[in-house]
A and B are shown apart, each in its own frame.
Chain A
Amino acid sequence: MSTPGILDLSWKATKMSDQNIPAEDGIDEILNLPLDAWHRAKGARMVPFAGYTMPIQYEGIIAEHRWTRDQAGLFDVSHMGQLIVSGEDDGVAVDDALEALLPGDIKGLAEGKMRYSLLLNDEGGALDDLMITRTPTGFYVVVNGAVKWEDIGHLREYLPDEITLNHLEDRALLALQGPKAVNALERVVPGVSRLCFMEADMFIWGEDPLWISRSGYTGEDGFEISVPADHVERLADALCAQPEVKPIGLGARDSLRLEAGLPLYGHDLDETIDPIEADLGFAVSKRRRMDGGFMGAGPVLAAIANGVSRKRVGLHVEGKMPVREGALLFSGAEQVGRVTSGGHSPSLDRPIAMGFVATALAQPGTPLEAEVRGKRVPVIVTALPFVPHHYVRKGAAK
């Protein structure tokens, strides 16, 4: 049987759950997040994801997706790892230590600015993708929930002893995403609208310090808010009391990021894929391309100089049948790639997909075929994103 029967409705056979990581003793322990009861009270359907029980949907994925694109959606992303990396001195040592592991320009990152980066292995493969922000006292790093324990192990192993790594397990993380997110959040936390895309700062909400960045993973304007776990329910209530805001589940989070052309770690990116293949070359900063000096620099700089044999691309799918992760891609009889994410696009009301294809076939407009249940479906390589980003960048007219 190729696909699960409709009895298998627990999502256990779908890609949303295959990031479940067993605890180190091999027992699959599923943990609860601080907002667990809150999600259930809001009518969420809960599923295991990244080692936690999380909301897949509330009223329905398509309605939640469209609400986020039109209004503002509140996402609980508390499963993600929130880390602080700091040094004892003026910060030079910690800059050097992080540049030894990340291909980005960390030294050039000003206080309150954030950047997308990658943890690479010696072969240049991506151990994880992450967001890093310079704070007054060090760096705030957010890593994927499914691999956060491996990331922490990697950082502990390779950061020098004098560098301190703190895992903020007592903090929750909310994302408020959508064109109305700024209106809603400004009412709750006055002042946040002064942030531009990829900027962050501390704000006081009542008596609680909130670390807020203007960022997210939906392609929309929006914010990510780090809040003490003890107070996250109160903040979630305050945000959902705003007329623009509804809680949104993991299902819509996945369809939104797919439309935005953003890779999902464990699917479109893994330790066998380097940043150049993944079309994430922007994360390898110009200075680092010249000087190297980061883990995996040899293979990554060689990939930049010599090119790569495969590339991550977007795929427009003809017809209505979704093409999903794992579908093989063909050019005539020859297998030339594989789909790594795919599904229905609620914004475009058609199937879209992302995958890796041979570099010679990676140009937008290239016709290929995907194989689904033994049938060939025409697809066309297309530029990402599928739906334009709406970030509020510095210097742009507001």
Chain B
Amino acid sequence: MTRYFTDEHEWIDVDGGQATVGITDYAQGQLGDIVFVELPAIGAAVTKGGEAAVVESVKAASDVYAPVSGTVTAANDALGDDPSLVNSAPEGEGWFFKLTLADAGELEGLMDAAAYQAFVASL
């Protein structure tokens, strides 16, 4: 399994044609207390760079973009009961959704962990 990162602060774990998406620890820290997450419907088609979910902190609603195109196969229902999982475990239990990749070629250009850390350090 390989983890990639986007410059929109999403992470994506890729295992064959399947992927899991969430937001990074840096992103949750910047957003602050998460109080609501709107997840895509199972079966929904998402497009690389397009809106896929919405994460709401106390202060603001922010879009979460799809890191790659694909079809949503699962959404993390645990976030409905406890959206603060995004704060406490952003890169684990606080995952957002899973999808089937439409085009593995879209992974090219995403960052690995070292590149993302350097990117965050530059902000």
Distance of A16 Cα from B32 Cα, bound (Å) = 15
Residues of chain B contacted by A251 (CB below 8 angstroms): 32, 58-59
Tell yes or no: A11 within 8 A of B by CB. yes
On whether A6 and B59 interact (CB within 8 A), knowing A320-B36, A344-B36, A373-B54, the answer reads no
Tell yes or no: A8 within 8 A of B by CB. yes
Residues of chain B contacted by A321 (CB below 8 angstroms): 36, 38, 56
Tell yes or no: B55 within 8 A of A by CB. yes
- Residue of B at shortest CB range from A350? B35
Give the residue of B8, B35, B58, B62 whose beta carbon is less than 8 angstroms from that of A320: B35
Tell yes or no: B15 within 8 A of A by CB. no
Report which residue of A3, A57, A255, A324 has the largest number of chain B beta carbons within 10 angstroms of its beta carbon: A3
Residues of chain A contacted by B9 (CB below 8 angstroms): 6-7
Tell yes or no: B111 within 8 A of A by CB. no
Which of A330-345 touch B at CB < 8 Å?
A: 343-344
Give the residue of B30, B61, B63 whose beta carbon is less than 8 angstroms from that of A322: B61
Distance of A26 Cα from B52 Cα, bound (Å) = 38
On whether A9 and B38 interact (CB within 8 A), knowing A322-B56, A322-B61, the answer reads no
Tell yes or no: A41 within 8 A of B by CB. no
A9 and B61 within 8 A (CB): no
Residues of chain A contacted by B60 (CB below 8 angstroms): 3-4, 11, 13-14, 324
Residues of chain B contacted by A60 (CB below 8 angstroms): 32-33
Contact indicator per residue, chain B 48-82, by CB within 8 Å of chain A (1) or not (0): 00010011111111111100000000000000100
Contact indicator per residue, chain A 372-383, by CB within 8 Å of chain B (1) or not (0): 010000000000
Report which residue of A14, A56, A344 has the largest number of chain B beta carbons within 10 angstroms of its beta carbon: A344
Which of A245-275 touch B at CB < 8 Å?
A: 251, 254-255
Which of B27-55 touch A at CB < 8 Å?
A: 27, 30-33, 35-36, 38, 51, 54-55
Residues of chain A contacted by B106 (CB below 8 angstroms): none
Tell yes or no: B14 within 8 A of A by CB. no
B27 and A6 within 8 A (CB): yes
- Residue of B at shortest CB range from A250? B59
Residues of chain A contacted by B62 (CB below 8 angstroms): 3-6, 8-9
Tell yes or no: A1 within 8 A of B by CB. yes
Q: Give the Cβ gap from A245 to chain B, nearest Cβ, in Å.
A: 21
A14 and B63 within 8 A (CB): no
Residues of chain B contacted by A63 (CB below 8 angstroms): 33
Tell yes or no: B12 within 8 A of A by CB. no
A344 and B63 within 8 A (CB): no
Distance of A75 Cα from B8 Cα, bound (Å) = 33
Tell yes or no: A299 within 8 A of B by CB. no
On whether A255 and B58 interact (CB within 8 A), knowing A1-B63, A2-B63, A320-B80, the answer reads yes
Distance of A344 Cα from B31 Cα, bound (Å) = 14
A7 and B58 within 8 A (CB): no
Tell yes or no: B101 within 8 A of A by CB. no
A6 and B64 within 8 A (CB): yes
Residues of chain B contacted by A324 (CB below 8 angstroms): 60-61
Tell yes or no: B23 within 8 A of A by CB. yes
Distance of A3 Cα from B62 Cα, bound (Å) = 5
Distance of A324 Cα from B60 Cα, bound (Å) = 8
Residues of chain B contacted by A344 (CB below 8 angstroms): 33, 35-36, 56, 58
Residues of chain B contacted by A202 (CB below 8 angstroms): none
Contact indicator per residue, chain B 69-109, by CB within 8 Å of chain A (1) or not (0): 00000000000100100000000000000000000000000
Tell yes or no: B7 within 8 A of A by CB. yes
A-B contact pairs, 6 of them (CB 8 A): A1-B63, A7-B9, A9-B62, A255-B58, A324-B60, A343-B58
Which A residues are within 8 Å of any B CB, using their own CB? 1-9, 11, 13-14, 16, 56-57, 60-63, 251, 254-255, 320-322, 324, 343-344, 346, 351, 373
Which B residues are within 8 Å of any A CB, using their own CB? 7-10, 23, 27, 30-33, 35-36, 38, 51, 54-65, 80, 83
Q: A251-B59, A320-B80 are in contact. List 16 more A-B contacts (CB 8 A).
A: A2-B63, A4-B60, A6-B27, A6-B55, A6-B63, A61-B32, A61-B57, A62-B58, A63-B33, A320-B83, A321-B36, A321-B38, A322-B56, A343-B59, A344-B58, A373-B38
User: Which 8 residue pairs of A and B lie closest in terms of their CB atoms, listed nearest first?
Assistant: A9-B30, A344-B35, A14-B60, A61-B58, A62-B33, A6-B62, A3-B61, A6-B27
